[in-house]
Structure 1
Amino acid sequence: MSPLIQSLFLLITLFSLTSSENILFVTTAPLYGAQMVLQPIWTQLSKSHTVTVITPNPTNQKNNTNLKEIDIKFIYEFIEMKYDFSQYVAKYKDEPLRYSTFLTTVLTGINNEVLKHPDVKALIKDDSLSFDLTIVEFITVPTMLAFGHRFKTPIIAITTTDASVLGQDSIGNPNHPALNPDLMLKFHGDLSFMQRVFSTLSLVSRKAVAHLVKRVEDETVSKHFGDNYPSLDELTDRIDLFLMNVNLGFHNLRPTVPAVVHFGGEMSVKPAGKLPEDIKKFLDDGKDGVVYFNLGTVIRARMIKPELLEAIFTSFARLPYRFIIKLDVPDTYPGKPDNIMIKTWLPQQDILRHENVKVFITQCGLQSIEEAIYHNVPIIGLPFFGDQYSNCLQAEEKGIGIIFDVNRLDSRKLIAAIEEVINTPTYEEKTKMISKIALDQPMTGLERATWWINHILRYKGGKHLRAPSLNVPFWKFYLLDVLAFIGFIVLSVFRVLYFLIKKCLRCCIKKSHKTKSQ
């Protein structure tokens, strides 16, 4: 066979093995950092498949004909107007259970508004559309899984952090309250007795609330998708694969079932860009070191107590370093020291890349921590809400930073922490080690995620990955019937022993009395 014919044969074979499928990707969380994790995945998938995305952060790739993005960015404004999200975050930041309940309320409200959007309604009603796979961002409210039933496709769930209690349960992962406390709780690691009690109660309450929420959201599904839909309990059981943004080097891992794929580590990391001239000069001139301060997109200046803001500026003024701050206040903020630059937006990753940046003061959003680790910058954590406490505690446990309670932070403590992190080499060394572990894998997180997505497409689902425990009722899983049987046997044996001992004692007493009477 000639080389030309061999080449043609190879090309024909390759084309026959490659198929372009239609994928629906649904992500509704109005969090810019979280969307940065998901954008590379749907962009990569669109290189070989046709992808339709419902998202509050479209990438607007004008030349990508394989990608259609339904823009729902109105959700950002909706949650601020309807729920005053920033105010409630500040109000419940020290009450994880109340915050979880509030977050669930917000998510149910978001789902209802998204499903009312004209473009989303048109998608649901269009009988000419067909999809081969549905990928749904799974936080705590699984309403959007209904798209999988609407288009009769396999379902992949995806998270931009580790999964919630409900997410772990949905795929059959163990939820041990002593080993894996809920992300929203403010403790981690080796738990005390009372922490284990609280973690157990939290686990039970979260499961109970999740059950009630699914009953409410069944009505939302019926309202927007129509009647005769399976319950959300059934739809949750249909998840074929769960992609979790878990970092091998950073997270404390739990045992996982085959249907769970961890893809964390560098998903939100972008190629190096060019720094604005004023920022570049400010960083270049910081030869003694620069401290980068950014509390994310949700935390606003009005959420920070005035005494805390004063302590921050007082601390920075007393130190010989430069400080570049992302905060929604003007650079002419009253009392701002000369060694501080304030911007309402900053190119975070390009700043972290700069050789003069020594410390990152962060609220400990997972994407911020991953970017700090990737660029080998240790952190000082000021958590405010949600999984930020858990992330900060894990960072402190790994030795890559120091955590503070924002309610008890003062100028003296902050100065001491900055000096310690900058002048103690072990913080940077441990950050570099975690970065190496996270990146030392046979494929990147993006490659792993897309490979497994294509695996589900190739086999029209992932039932072969399903954990046997998902088909077992809870009373069988926890061996309640076996324990009851063993308990019955033990009690029966004790009753028989009690009866025999009692009878023997009576005989002995009678014999004793008889002997005495004789």
Structure 2
Amino acid sequence: MNIYFTKEYNINWKKMVKLNTWKDLNHRIVLPFALALLCPFTWSPSVNAAKILGLFAHPSEGHFAVMQSLVLELAKREHNVTVYSSHRLNERVENIKEIIVEPEYQFWKHLLDVTGSQAGGHLQLSQLTESAMQKSMASVGGAAVDYFMSNAAMQKLLHLPIEEFDYDLVIVDLFYTEALLAVGHFYNKPTIGIVSTNFENYMEHVLEQIVPVACSPNDYVHYEREMSYWARLGTVRSCLSRRKQFVKSNWGAQEQLIRKHLAHFEGASVLNIPTLQAELAILLLNSHVPLITPRPMLANTIAAGGMHIRPPRELPWPIRRFLEESRTGVIYINLGNEQLCADIPKSIFDLLTNTLVKMKERVLWTCHDYTDLKNLPANIMVQHATTQTDILAHPHVRTFIMNGDLLSLQEGIVRHVPMLGLPIFRNEMQNMALAVQLGVGIQINQANLTETSLKWALQTLKEDNTYALTIRRVSTTFRDRPLGALETCIYWMNYVLRHEGGAQLRTIGVGMPSNQLHLFDLFIYYFTVALLIVGVLALGFYGVIVLLRKREMEKIYSKLS
């Protein structure tokens, strides 16, 4: 009997190995398959179904997209998940319990109010200094968490007796929401934090890296391996200045919320954010090289960029037909979930529509206020419900016009769609500058946005094959890791559940004051010692000189006498 298999035991008609005997068959096929079947039962780590609590206070839809993917995957792994959020999963899963905090807190509306940017909208907001923006974000972020924790359902949870709090793990969406880490602290449960976007300056405060900032800069675009003395000095001074303001504006507000909503727990009046950060079991970062600066990572800081990107699902028939009938390709537009299309300045909106109507491609535009858009050109279709990552996966989508959001950048790269960025905010500009540096997109600043520049950018992305080839290479780099992004998250969550909260991964440097962490206090000590030694030597040298002069004067006086 002749049976053909490849050496890898997969049928490949170009590379066949002929097995002529049952002995060969047993050694090459049966035994390996038997071992493969037995391995999961012998050494593969397993976790029993756990009860997991998700506290997702930040009202951003983009943030929740990350949390949604994670929650659904946890439920798929038979964990029981309870979610407190302002957004719905829109999927009925038996082992997921949703508690909706509604109405949704209008984060961006309140931010515009606090900064006095109602008239100019997001464009005026983007012109604030970094210091003013950070202070305003901390204020509105604290108000959003206060609103979340004041909800009746949350109050019931926060006042549960310790013996009735039967969750095994707490997950917190970390973005100006540090007060929620106190839940895991007071109920003595391991807590996992998730930073769903880059926000480099914010990330540094979430979990300080055990390296000097000059060796681990925030800004990828202007990163230089060999920085001059003055460049390193400026970087350190800037970092310490931002950190001091962040501690004062954000941590101060978050600690007040702990004292307000968790005052019934002993120690709430003295609990501080560094203590809570030091207790984090795992910090999951939704980014990965080459979209972040390579830097040393703590053992419990896990880069899992793209965790919100799942395999594409089938598109609704109207959208699928619109895409498939466009033989010249499709341009997809999404300028951010935080800004409604009706809020886009009329001059920019008209410029976009006037340019796109002249293109041969069809245009699919995601707008949540799609009903407010009237009299659009025939080649433009507006939708609001279909997930962006599913749209980008369609082969007819050739160009992605976006605002520079990190999640959109990741989706465009994974789906191999070159991007045209129209950024407004500082982090969006940094993301698009990185996209340009990587060769996967083109950036047009608001000041340079004209019909000519827009048409040139679209034509370049369409006709220059370099972008299509480069984005595939970057995508391969981004996805090349031992486990996929979501699998990485699940692995480390299960690790925490298996190993008593993951205490083995915590580093003593977390929560340590900066002067101790970077040895500034030791430098002062050695500097003082050095000054003391120099002072003693100088004093001794001065004493010797005085003594010699005294003897010389005595000799002179003795001769005169």
Check conservation: 2:62, 2:407, Cα contact below 8 A.
Answer: yes
Structure 1 residue 148 corresponds to structure 2 residue 184: yes
**Residue 498 of structure 2 is aligned with which of 458, 467, 474?**
458
| Equivalent AA in structure 2 for residue 395 of structure 1 | A
* Cα distance change, pair 174–420 in 1 and its aligned pair in 2 (3 A): farther
Check conservation: 1:360, 1:377, Cα contact below 8 A.
Answer: yes
Partner deviation per Cα, 1:306-355 (whole Å, 9 max, x = no partner): 22223223332443333222344669745x54443344555423332222
Q: Which moved more, 1:194-203 or 1:442-451?
A: 194-203
Matches of residues 61-460 of structure 1 in structure 2 within 5 Å? Answer: 61-64=91-94, 66-77=95-106, 80=109, 87=118, 89-95=122-128, 96-127=130-161, 128-162=164-198, 164-165=200-201, 167-174=203-210, 182=218, 188-190=222-224, 197=234, 200-201=237-238, 203-227=240-264, 228=266, 229=268, 230-277=271-318, 279-327=319-367, 328=369, 333=374, 336-344=376-384, 346-385=386-425, 387-460=427-500
- Identical columns (%): 23
Check conservation: 2:57, 2:177, Cα contact below 8 A.
Answer: no
* Cα distance change, pair 178–339 in 1 and its aligned pair in 2 (3 A): farther
Partner deviation per Cα, 1:137-172 (whole Å, 9 max, x = no partner): 111340101111232112211111236545434434
Structure 1 residue 50 corresponds to structure 2 residue 83: no
Q: Which moved more, 1:457-466 or 1:357-366?
A: 457-466
State the alpha-carbon separation in 1 of the partners of residues 73 and 357 from structure 2. Answer: 46
Check conservation: 2:326, 2:362, Cα contact below 8 A.
Answer: yes
Q: Aligned residue for 1:479?
A: 519
Shift of 1:458: 1.5
State the alpha-carbon separation in 2 of the partners of residues 40 and 312 from structure 1. Answer: 32
Shift of 1:451: 1.2
| Equivalent AA in structure 2 for residue 57 of structure 1 | H
Check conservation: 1:133, 1:153, Cα contact below 8 A.
Answer: yes
Query: What is the count of residue pairs matched by the alignment?
Result: 497
State the alpha-carbon separation in 2 of the partners of residues 176 and 412 from structure 1. Answer: 45
SS at match of 1:431: helix
SS at match of 1:319: coil
Check conservation: 1:165, 1:207, Cα contact below 8 A.
Answer: no
State the alpha-carbon separation in 2 of the partners of residues 18 and 69 from structure 1. Answer: 23
* Cα distance change, pair 224–482 in 1 and its aligned pair in 2 (3 A): closer
State the alpha-carbon separation in 2 of the partners of residues 316 and 310 from structure 1. Answer: 10
Q: Aligned residue for 1:4?
A: none
Check conservation: 1:23, 1:49, Cα contact below 8 A.
Answer: yes
SS at match of 2:475: helix
* Cα distance change, pair 34–152 in 1 and its aligned pair in 2 (3 A): same
Q: Structure 2 unaligned runs (5+)? A: 1-37, 557-561
State the alpha-carbon separation in 2 of the partners of residues 262 and 114 from structure 1. Answer: 28
State the alpha-carbon separation in 2 of the partners of residues 440 and 209 from structure 1. Answer: 35
Check conservation: 1:240, 1:463, Cα contact below 8 A.
Answer: yes
| Equivalent AA in structure 1 for residue 53 of structure 2 | L
| Equivalent AA in structure 2 for residue 56 of structure 1 | S
Check conservation: 1:112, 1:220, Cα contact below 8 A.
Answer: yes
State the alpha-carbon separation in 2 of the partners of residues 492 and 439 from structure 1. Answer: 56
Shift of 1:72: 1.7
Shift of 1:14: 10
State the alpha-carbon separation in 2 of the partners of residues 462 and 251 from structure 1. Answer: 25
Check conservation: 2:275, 2:511, Cα contact below 8 A.
Answer: no
Q: Which moved more, 1:80-89 or 1:383-392?
A: 80-89
Q: Which moved more, 1:14-23 or 1:412-421?
A: 14-23
State the alpha-carbon separation in 2 of the partners of residues 63 and 482 from structure 1. Answer: 55
State the alpha-carbon separation in 2 of the partners of residues 78 and 332 from structure 1. Answer: 23
| Equivalent AA in structure 1 for residue 124 of structure 2 | K
Check conservation: 1:275, 1:347, Cα contact below 8 A.
Answer: no
Q: Which moved more, 1:411-420 or 1:301-310?
A: 301-310
Shift of 1:468: 3.5
Shift of 1:260: 0.7
Q: Aligned residue for 1:22?
A: 51
- CA RMSD, aligned part only? 3.7
Partner deviation per Cα, 1:11-33 (whole Å, 9 max, x = no partner): 99999964333221111121222
Shift of 1:175: 7.0
Check conservation: 1:55, 1:71, Cα contact below 8 A.
Answer: yes
Shift of 1:132: 2.0
Shift of 1:359: 1.0
SS at match of 1:407: helix
Higher RCO (CA < 8 A, seq sep 6+) = 1
| Equivalent AA in structure 2 for residue 315 of structure 1 | T
State the alpha-carbon separation in 2 of the partners of residues 498 and 423 from structure 1. Answer: 77
| Equivalent AA in structure 2 for residue 91 of structure 1 | Q
Scaled by the length of structure 1, the TM-score of the pair is 0.83
